[in-house]
Amino acid sequence: MAIGINGTDYAAPEDPRVSLLDFLREQVGLTGTKLGCNQGACGACTVLLDDERVLSCLTLAVQVDGRKVRTIEGLADAQGDLHPLQVAFIKHDGFQCGYCTPGQICSALAMAEELRRGDPSHVTVDLAAGPEGPTRYEIAERMSGNLCRCGAHNGIVSAIEEMLQGDSA
Amino acid sequence: MSKLQNALVSSVRAVLSQVPAGWLPGGTPDPLINKRVSLGTQQSRVDGPIKVRGAARFAAEVPMSGLHYASFVYSTIARGRIAVIDTAAAETAPGVRLVMTYRNAPKLAVVPPLGLPNLKAAGNNILPVMQNAEVRWNGQVVAVVVAQTQEQADHAATLVKIRYEIAPARTEFKKGKAHAHTPDSILIEKNRLLRGNPTKALAEADYRVDAVYRTPWQNHNFIEPSAATIIWEGERLIVHDATQMLNATAASLAKVFGIREDQVQVKSPFVGGGFGGKALWDHQILAAAAAKLAARPVRIVLSRAGVHRLIGGRTQTEQRVALAAGADGRLKALLHHGYSVKPKHSVCDEQYGLTGRALYASASFDVVQHHVDLDVVANTFMRGPGEAPGTFAIECAIDELAHQLAMDPIELRRRNAPDRNPVSGAPHSQSAMMLAYDQGAERFGWARRTPVPRSQRKGEWLVGMGCATGTFPFVRMPGMSVRITMDARGSAHVASAAHEMGMGTATVQRQHAADRLGLPLDKVSVEIGDSSLPFGSFAGGSSQTVSLAAAISAAGNSLAGELLRLAGNDTPLAGLKAGEVEFFEEGLRSRADSRRHETFASILKRARRNEVSATGASGTPVEMFKFAMHSTSAIFCELRVSEVTGEVRVDRLVGAFDCGRILNPQTATSQFKGGMIMGLGMALTEETLLDERNGRIMSTSLADYHVPVHLDVPEIEVLWTDIPDPRAPLGARGIGEIGITGVAAAIANAVFNATGRRIRDLPLTLDKVLAPQ
Amino acid sequence: MKPFTYMRPTDGTEALSLAAMSKQARFLGGGTNLVDLMRQHVETPDELVDVTRLRGNIKETTSGGLLIGAAVRNSTLAAHPHVRQNFPVLSRALLSGASAQIRNMATVGGNIMQRTRCSYFYDVTGARCNKRNPGVGCDAIGGFTRYHAVLGASEHCVATHPSDMCVALAALDATVHVAGPDGDRSVPITEFHVLPGDHPEVETVLRSGELITAVEIPASTMAARSEYRKVRDRSSYAFALVSVAGAIEIAQGTIADVRIALGGVAAKPWRAARAEEFLRGKEVSHEQFLDAAESELAAARPLEGNRFKIELAKRTIAAVLGDLARDAA
């Protein structure tokens, strides 16, 4: 068994106490995923685990043995070009200090998939039918697990909105 | 500041009032106010690509071989002594290299206190660090564990056994008020302001407001926890820090460790949010001491609880504001008395008393602040210190007065908008507060507001609108230095120990330097974030941009002189002096005769030089003493309040800013919005819970301390007057903090408009809305 | 964290036998609560048995109810069409809880077993807590009690259970299926969590070595019209101050049947049985709803910091029932 990170396999750490977050940052050398609170309250550590968004600070690395992890470093394409969402973040100034940014981006990518699947959210009016569409309100609720203290919220939502609209185009 | 220093400041002001404006720095308006190519355009951040890739390296991410990890043990009493500390189990735990306590910590000097007289001092909590058994606040570090992994260090920290001798502690604000200290000064102003006869005016007023407004302790809660990666190379100390004050930190650490300033280097290219809290506190000192003792590089990443225990927050305030006016709304008295916490070991005044002294004309003034000394970690600067809580009190009071007068709140402000500083009489350098109001009101649709409370409803929600003034002083720091290096291709490299916490420092100054030197953007690079670069004053007080701008301007003048010298005699510019040329089209040109021009590349080539450098510094900010230099804003809010639950939800926010010229509309918008969102949090949800029974902070996580989430944040509109300030470099005043000011009052005023309830106590939580009147 | 051994069984039998190896063993679900508690040194297991790979699915039972495997993720349960259609209160409750990331990780079993978020409970070195150290005292009493109980508390503990899902399950008459070294058993969710009394360290009826295997919800036509309202300090990603799960069946303008459960008010999801009793057979009206709420909250004992919860709970109950009655019309 191994942990797949951005397409490369790594042996799980010997110490089961090591969180996936610390494994990425301290052992694998991928510092793009950020430690914000280590308590599951800020979302800065969000990564994609088999394409679902999870908090790496509350995930023990040993738990994801045999599974696939994608981090911010794994989003650029093979040529190293930015993912369209990363481009949109720059265009709409969806960041200031940049610390919450990798978490926001990874979270948004998975969120887009949840929306496409028709999963409802807390603000979805018709629960059975699902979300009406990628409204700013739906995006804001679905991204509420990612805190931003610099206040880049409007830009983040705009960047995500652009990506989602690009989808339906 | 002492009485003597106060007197000096007054005489400087008096002298300067006689000096013609044209003789002062900024006496001739900066030509770049209007001559702009890159400035004023929407350039994306130069560090954008690496930030979105997650490739920007923060303090805890610098790789280092042999790295060890630190974990702190925090006191659980507010005052007393460590009677017994047993580290045996911790020391022998797996992977542990060292346990440091007051018994084996190296000798450390007390950190020099941060303050205006000494720009190289960064101390915020002026107490000995681990030098004795004394405990001075609940949360002070009493042991440091250094181990090979973070998990080993954290676990070993739980094995340290401590018994305390508990001493009585002062942890209650109400009790502390009885022993409050009234300082002579607040920053550089005399604390006590008494002008005219405010008592009489209040007693005889036809219209009077007299109320107490309360704001709680708040914490910065930047997403990047305070952290540092530290290594000693012989007697050299290298700190990869997250800091807003590189040089002051380096110089202060040198003093603490008894080494030379040039033996300390602090690097901090990226800071994950500062807001006043990314500064020098105990954690860097302790980690550096532990690194020395352990002879290993050490990484310290504070837990969220650790950030709350070691880094101070904004003090709570209790402010009484009393206003007296006649039927025409003109203020006859403005009284502003208040209490806030400032332990003796703190350096932060929380200068809310200065807010009302600059905003409105009044026939009489009565302003004073009192400081309460408690046994807690030092209070400190948090975005908009002074003005953030000060505008809450003043601007709610103004709204209450407007309601009494049955006058539109904007009209009331118009009647009292001063044409010069109401206290010092200094002329405004530039002020267009009412224009900001008018522009903001139009964008917002203020005309749709119904002044009678409880008159707008949407289902179970009462809808309300409110407005308030925001304000922040212009500050330019002396000493901020820049080195410009021109290379043989005529490209310029700008270097300074300046800081990046999200404001886009390199992006904006690159635009500036390009315009200053007549270069295209792609021929300019900016390097910051290292204390070994030319001196950088702190990124605080919304001063960095203008201070850097002044330094770049000065360095540019110096560079022109250097280039002319290199140009020699065999040049179209022969015989000209620096004051007679200007930067133009990648070279220098005679001001008198535009045909006389030579490019940088040509000058350097002929001189057979690969590069030429010049430095410049931001000089004494004399203009601040001659003129009243402030930015103002008008904040508008539309919100709804549930009649069922009392929940308050903000639907619209508009901010109209009068801050001088805007240098980059994209980064400026983000700064304004960022401040306003912090104001939203201040108004509705943010409160640090300090348990007064033992002085211990109980809200130590981001789940207990509520900062606004995405769903809380409406689409915010920001606009600006863009009127240049003739005395400011680039015509621009700082914008980092003004965004938070006025917002809490605008929201509270909107809650009143919606519900008819005045809530004078932040945050405006539903229990306060539901509480019986 | 204290060092521990980590094990990941592939079926329930193996899970039980691994857990039986140590008195300090804990089952690990998504880790969204347990890993946090371990990092804060509130929980110090020496053995973690990861049960997330155990089979977890959602099945419709023959009677039209639902059988939900304990390893099912919160997000999966919330998005399930059958839940959204027939038990909307459950979906709404789940969707109002935590964040999307946490909902993706958290299991149904773990959600039931989560512990209080009382900050004194969490403050291992600096606060006294009768849950962590029976008999030492409760520092929450006399401290910050905004999130603490107004019903069912004792002088030893005023903590609340933070789960939204459990409040909905309580309103839906759910049953918790448990497997253990002594065999299988079932417990109504309303009896699964216990009030603090003299032993706040005992939070559930789960015995040592027992594992939740599934949650079962009986079929109910009333449940198709059910609602969850969560009142909190910010609009998302925050625990409830008060929450209400409600369902109502109206026939000819009178209340044929009703379900009300409250969150944020007690150490367990609070089934408002008194209010339900009051309402059965009564005419539908806002006043009746308020009176019913009044009867339930009459037993409330507020603390300095949470007095508002009583009024808030009454209003929210009335609002939820009012919404449901309007929709029924």
Does B272 contact A38 at a Cβ distance shorter than 8 Å? no
Is residue B10 a contact partner of residue B425, using CB atoms and an 8 Å limit? no
Cβ pairs A/B, distance under 8 A: 177
- C5 CB within 8 Å of a chain A CB: yes
| Dist CA C192 CA C166 (whole Å) | 10
CATH of the domain at C256: 3.30.390.50
CB neighbour class for B411 (10 Å; exposed up to 12, middle 13-18, buried from 19)? middle
pLDDT beyond 90 at B18: no
> What is residue A1's three-state secondary structure?
coil
Is the C-alpha dihedral spanning B533, B539, B541, B542 positive or negative?
positive
- A141 CB within 8 Å of a chain C CB: yes
- C4 CB within 8 Å of a chain B CB: no
Residues of B with Cβ-Cβ distance to A143 under 8 angstroms: 710
Residues of A with Cβ-Cβ distance to C37 under 8 angstroms: none
CB proximity under 8 Å: B 225-254 to A:
225
Residues of B with Cβ-Cβ distance to C3 under 8 angstroms: 94, 155
- pLDDT tens profile B585-640: 999 999 999 999 999 999 999 999 999 999 999 999 999 999 999 999 999 999 99
What is the reported pLDDT for C327? 86
What the block records as the tokens of C30 is: 């998504």
Residue of A150, A157, A161 to mutate, interface with B, max B Cβ within 10 Å: A150
Cβ pairs A/C, distance under 8 A: 95
CATH of the domain at C16: 3.30.43.10
Select the residue of A38, A62, A145 nearest C101 (Cβ to Cβ). Answer: A145
| Dist CA B256 CA B285 (whole Å) | 8
CB proximity under 8 Å: B 253-292 to A:
270-275
What is the reported pLDDT for B734? 96
Closest chain B residue by Cα to residue A91: B44
Is the C-alpha dihedral spanning C261, C263, C269, C274 positive or negative?
negative
Alpha-carbon distance values, C308 to B752, B772, C265 (Å): 20, 10, 11
Q: Which runs of E-coded beta strand occur in B169-289?
A: 185-186, 189-190, 193-195, 207-215, 227-233, 236-241, 264-267
Residues of B with Cβ-Cβ distance to A24 under 8 angstroms: none
Select the residue of A46, A59, A119 nearest C31 (Cβ to Cβ). Answer: A59
Residue B737 designated active-site? yes
In this structure, what DSSP letter does residue A41 have? S
Number of neighbouring beta carbons within 10 Å of residue B449? 23
Q: Which residues of B touch C (CB under 8 A)?
A: 74, 76, 94, 138, 151, 154-155, 158, 460, 644-647, 649, 684-685, 689, 691, 693-694, 696, 698-701, 703-704, 706, 708-712, 765-767, 770-771
What is the reported pLDDT for B118? 87
Distance from CA of C327 to the nearest CA of A (A): 13
- C82 CB within 8 Å of a chain A CB: no
| Dist CA B251 CA B241 (whole Å) | 14
- pLDDT tens profile A22-62: 999 999 999 999 999 999 999 999 999 999 999 999 999 99
Residue of B42, B51, B71, B223 to mutate, interface with A, max A Cβ within 10 Å: B223
DSSP string, A79-142: T-PPPHHHHHHHHTT--SS-SSHHHHHHHHHHHHHHHHHT---TT-SSTTT--SS--HHHHHHH
Q: Is residue C250 part of a domain?
A: yes
Q: Is residue C103 part of a domain?
A: no
- pLDDT tens profile A66-75: 999 999 999 9
Active-site option among B189, B350, B598, B737: B737
Q: Mean pLDDT across chain B, nearest whole number?
A: 96
Q: What H or E segment, with its residue span, contains residue B740?
A: none
The total of structural domains in chain C comes to 2
State percent of chain C over pLDDT 70.
100
> What residues form DSSP beta bridges with C249?
C257
Q: What is the mean pLDDT of residues B33-42?
A: 95
Does A58 contact C36 at a Cβ distance shorter than 8 Å? yes
Tally of residues, chain B: 773
What is the reported pLDDT for C262? 98
| Dist CA B239 CA B250 (whole Å) | 8
- A40 CB within 8 Å of a chain C CB: yes
pLDDT beyond 60 at B26: no
Q: Is residue C68 part of a domain?
A: no
Residue A114 CA to its chain's centroid (Å): 12
Closest chain C residue by Cα to residue B645: C312
Closest chain A residue by Cα to residue C36: A39
- pLDDT tens profile B362-390: 999 999 999 999 999 999 999 999 999 99
- pLDDT tens profile C118-175: 999 999 999 999 999 999 999 999 999 999 999 999 999 999 999 999 999 999 999 9
Q: Is residue C286 part of a domain?
A: yes
Is residue B718 a contact partner of residue B657, using CB atoms and an 8 Å limit? yes
- B673 CB within 8 Å of a chain A CB: yes
Q: What is the mean pLDDT of residues C231-256?
A: 97
Closest chain C residue by Cα to residue B643: C315
Q: Could you tell me which residues come within 8 angstroms of residue B485 by beta carbon, excluding any fewer than 6 positions away? A: B492, B493, B495, B611, B612, B613
Distance from CA of A147 to the nearest CA of B (A): 6
Distance from CA of A110 to the nearest CA of B (A): 16
Is the C-alpha dihedral spanning C295, C298, C299, C300 positive or negative?
positive
Assembly ipTM: 0.98
What's the alpha-carbon Rg for chain A, to the nearest Å? 16
pLDDT beyond 90 at C23: no
| Dist CA B214 CA C120 (whole Å) | 26
What is the reported pLDDT for B28? 84
Sheet arrangement for strand C175-180: C58-60, C66-69, C211-217, C175-180, C183-188
Closest chain A residue by Cα to residue B273: A97
Residues of B with Cβ-Cβ distance to A76 under 8 angstroms: 53
- pLDDT tens profile C287-323: 999 999 999 999 999 999 999 999 999 999 999 999 9
Q: Is residue C124 part of a domain?
A: no
Closest chain C residue by Cα to residue B769: C308
Does A60 contact C36 at a Cβ distance shorter than 8 Å? no
Closest chain A residue by Cα to residue B55: A32
Q: Which residues of B648-682 are buried (b: 16+ CB within 10 A; e: fewer)?
A: bebebbbbbbbbbbbbbebbbbbbbbbbbbbbbbb
Alpha-carbon distance values, B454 to B271, B641, B752 (Å): 45, 10, 8
- C232 CB within 8 Å of a chain A CB: no
What single-letter amino acid sits at C149?
A: A
pLDDT beyond 60 at A169: no
Select the residue of A52, A65, A144 nearest C99 (Cβ to Cβ). Answer: A144
Delineate the domains of chain A, giving CATH numbers in brackets: 3-74 (3.10.20.30), 84-168 (1.10.150.120)
Q: Is residue C295 part of a domain?
A: yes
Q: Could you tell me which residues come within 8 angstroms of residue B330 by beta carbon, excluding any fewer than 6 positions away? A: B361, B363, B415, B416
Select the residue of B644, B685, B770 nearest C308 (Cβ to Cβ). Answer: B770
Residues of B with Cβ-Cβ distance to A26 under 8 angstroms: 149-150
Does B696 contact C316 at a Cβ distance shorter than 8 Å? no
pLDDT beyond 80 at B11: no
State percent of chain B over pLDDT 90.
95
Q: Is residue C9 part of a domain?
A: yes
* Domain final position from C52, C67, C89: C52
Does C104 contact A52 at a Cβ distance shorter than 8 Å? yes
Task: Tell me the residue range of the domain where C251 lies.
Answer: 229-328
Q: What is the largest CA-CA distance in chain C?
A: 63
> What residues form DSSP beta bridges with B655?
B635, B718
